[in-house]
A and B are shown apart, each in its own frame.
Chain A
Amino acid sequence: MSLALRYLPVLIFFAAWEAITFSGLVSTRLLPGLGEIGGAFAGLVASGEFFTSAARSLSRSGMGLGVAVVLGIVIGLFMATNRLFQLLINPIVRIFYPMPKSALIPLVMIWFGLGDSSKIFLIFLGCLLPVIVSSYNGARGVNHVMLWSAASLGASRAEILREVILPAALPDILAGCRTALAFSFILMVSSEFIIAKDGLGYLISTMGDGGNYPAMFAVILAVAGIGFAADRLYAAFAASSLRWKESS
């Protein structure tokens, strides 16, 4: 399917949006027209407000996500290969996984204050668990026949972990990181609503509070756009890392 055809429903969605604002059924205060939103976005870009906010936000979510991915893979692989470690960590992971991390925002604010560290910690925490769980499941699913083959070819335990278990678990790990990527955006925006003096989430909430709805919508759509682009970029990266999975 061509790209244009695949995203046709999105175009229809925006066309319907325009039609509704044009018809006057809904107040343009509640649902501004796309032209108005575009104008507000241009204003935010021109004032530099948008890019400074985006840079602040993306550096926070990038930090939190990056640390979570590295640590999550290490913890997940150790859980899969060390029984004692698994017995210690697994119950904690299982209990904290389904808990909404945004519920921790007030607590994290008390612990870390209003600076960057509170947001980064929250994003880190939210991203960590899906990476641990997917790495653990991926590593446990590795066929023992592959591990035994490596051992009989002269690989040590550490080499088997690094050279066999890690790449064999990679499809699961990459899927977990994709979930984590989405979580990082959710937590970035929601934590900036509550504890921030800058960033995209902060921008959305101040524009809303100030009654500048076109600008608020502009930032919301921009966040959605950045999230979508990040996900597509990530999917392309994952696919190129897993070229070996395609069969001819």
Chain B
Amino acid sequence: MTSEFGIKVEGVSHSYAGRQGAGTLALKETNLEIARNEFHALLGPSGCGKSTLLYLIGGFIPVQNGVIRTPAGEVHRPGPDRGIVFQNFALFPWKTVLENVIYGLKKQNRSKEECEERARHFIKMVQLGGFENHFPSQLSGGMQQRAAIARTLAVDPDILLMDEPFGALDAQTRRVMQEELRSIWRNSRKTVVFVTHDVHEAVFLADRISIMSARPGRIEHEIETGLGLDRDDSVIESKRFIELSEQIWRLVREQAISASRGEH
């Protein structure tokens, strides 16, 4: 792993406006540095602000306090250097799979033929060959997520933001998708920020895991998984994987318990 930076989050706080002016503090003075091409997981109990942090990096919600930097510069707004995959409902339902994937390509300086060729390549890569002309409503949840991933990867963002992308899938589909994502990442080398509340998912996928505290969120622990670059399904039976999952589970549980007691 190189020491070049991929994303720098410096002293970022964020509060959501309340009805009576009293805002809810979702993130408190959060610092995080993610290396270029690192697969980083943000883990924490629900409501810990991990999605908020992801949306701030994406530029979807404005930074109120602090600074977020990427190699492309300071983050102010969304841009094609930072692709995002949501849990669901992100595909354009009136467009076919092919049209969805082409959408972002058309915004770049590419010829019509190149757009289509590139779109077809990424659709094949996520194993959706043959479904190019299907509408999202004709696909299963897992296939829809594959299409969403293809659409995001096709525009070749430096940074891939993932907001619980497999959270709505059944357990088997989820496992397959995790393995495939890891191998896609291995081949494409992108900086990935992956939000999840699933400990096993985080350990299996990530090089490094940030565990966030309950609201107001901040990063409490950063853990290197050290499971190696090439992993397949067998890694989950390794001693290291099991111990690490146990250790991280305990840390997350502490946060979840303090969240349910309303501490902090």
* A148–B157 CA distance with the chains assembled, in angstroms: 15
Nearest A-chain residue to B96, judged by Cβ: A244
Q: Are A153 and B107 in contact (CB under 8 A)?
A: yes
Cα–Cα distance between A214 and B108 once the two chains are bound (Å): 67
The digit string for A145-158, where 1 denotes a CB below 8 A from any CB of B, is 11011111111000
Q: In whole Å, how far is A31's beta carbon from the nearest beta carbon of chain B? A: 49
> Number of B residues contacting the other chain (C-beta, 8 Å)?
31
A residues in contact with B78, CB < 8 Å: 148, 151-152
CB pair A145–B80 under 8 Å, yes or no, is no
Judging by beta carbons under 8 Å apart, are B94 and A244 in contact?
Answer: yes
Q: Is the CB of B107 within 8 A of A164?
A: no
Is B138 an interface residue, CB under 8 A from the partner? yes
A149, B137: Cβ atoms closer than 8 Å: no
Q: Are A155 and B90 also in contact (CB < 8 A) when A247-B137, A247-B138 are?
A: no
**Which A-chain residue is minimally distant from B151 (CB atoms)?**
A153
- Given A148-B60, A247-B138, check contact A154 B79 (CB 8 Å): yes
Main secondary structure of the interface of B (DSSP, over half): loop
B89 within 8 A of A: yes
Encode A126-161 as 1/0 by CB contact (under 8 A) with B. 000000000000000001011011111111000100
CB within 8 Å for A244 and B137 given contacts A148-B78, A149-B90, A153-B80: yes
Contact A154 B80 (CB under 8 A): yes
Please name all residues of chain A whose beta carbon is closer than 8 Å to the beta carbon of B107 when the two chains form the complex: 153-155, 159
Other-chain residue from B83, B86, B90, B93 in contact with A244 (beta carbon distance below 8 A): B93
Cβ contacts under 8 Å, B77 to chain A: 151
The distance in angstroms between the C-alpha atoms of A247 and B136, with both chains bound, is 9
Neighbour of A164 across the interface among B83, B92, B137, B155, CB < 8 A: B92
- Decide: B86 and A149 in contact? CB cutoff 8 A: yes
Interchain CA distance A245-B77 in the complex, whole Å = 32
Residues of B within 8 Å of A159, CB to CB, are: 107
In angstroms, Cα B12 to Cα A70, docked, is 45
| Given known A167-B92, A167-B94, A244-B93, contact A152–B138 (CB-CB < 8 A) | no
Q: In the complex the two chains form, what is the Cα distance from A152 to B55 in whole Å?
A: 11
A153 touches B137 (CB 8 A): no
CA distance A167 to B94 in the complex (A): 7
Q: Is A248 an interface residue (CB 8 A)?
A: yes
Q: How far is the CA of A149 from the CA of B107 in the complex (A)?
A: 13
* Interface-central residue, A150, A152, A163, by most chain B CB under 10 Å: A152
B148 / chain A contacts, CB cutoff of 8 Å: 149
Residues of B within 8 A of A167 (CB): 92, 94
What separation, in Å, do the CA atoms of A244 and B107 have in the docked complex? Answer: 23
Summed over the interface, the residue pairs from A and B with CB atoms below 8 Å come to a total of 76
- Check: A246 CB closer than 8 A to any chain B CB: yes
Q: Is the CB of B138 within 8 A of A153?
A: no
Q: For the complex, give the distance between the alpha carbons of A149 and B95 in Å.
A: 14
Chain A residues with CB below 8 A from B90, complex form: 143, 145-146, 148-149
Contacts of A148 in B (CB 8 A): 55, 58, 60, 78, 84, 86, 90
Q: Which of B103, B137, B138 has the most CB of A within 10 A?
A: B103
Q: In the complex, what residue of chain A is closest to B134 when comparing beta carbons?
A: A248
Can you name the residue of chain B whose Cβ is closest to the Cβ of A242? B94
Q: What B residues does A153 contact at CB under 8 A?
A: 80, 83, 103-104, 107, 151-152, 155
A residues near B93, Cβ cutoff 8 Å: 168, 244-245
* B94 & A152 in contact (Cβ 8 Å cutoff): no
A222 within 8 A of B: no
A152:B58 contact, CB within 8 angstroms: yes
Contact A152 B84 (CB under 8 A): yes
In the assembly, what is the distance between CA of A163 and CA of B95, in Å? 11
For A166-198 the 0/1 string (1 means CB < 8 A from B) is 011010000000000000000000000000000
Once the chains bind, are B94 and A170 in contact (CB under 8 Å)?
yes
B218 interface residue per 8 A CB criterion: no
Q: Which of B55, B90, B108 has the most CB of A within 10 A?
A: B90
B120 at the interface (CB under 8 A from A): no
Least Cβ–Cβ distance between B129 and chain A, in angstroms: 18
Q: Does B135 contact A (CB under 8 A)?
A: yes
* A residues whose Cβ falls under 8 Å from a Cβ of B: 143, 145-146, 148-155, 159, 163-164, 167-168, 170, 243-248
Q: Could you list some 22 contacts between A and B, CB below 8 A?
A: A143-B90, A145-B86, A145-B89, A146-B89, A146-B92, A148-B86, A149-B84, A149-B86, A149-B148, A151-B60, A151-B77, A152-B84, A152-B152, A153-B103, A153-B151, A154-B80, A154-B107, A163-B103, A167-B92, A168-B92, A244-B135, A246-B137
Q: Which 5 A-B pairs have the closest CB atoms?
A: A153-B104, A154-B107, A151-B78, A247-B137, A154-B80
Interface residues of B (CB under 8 A from A): 55, 58, 60, 77-80, 82-84, 86, 88-95, 103-104, 107-108, 135, 137-138, 148, 151-152, 155, 157
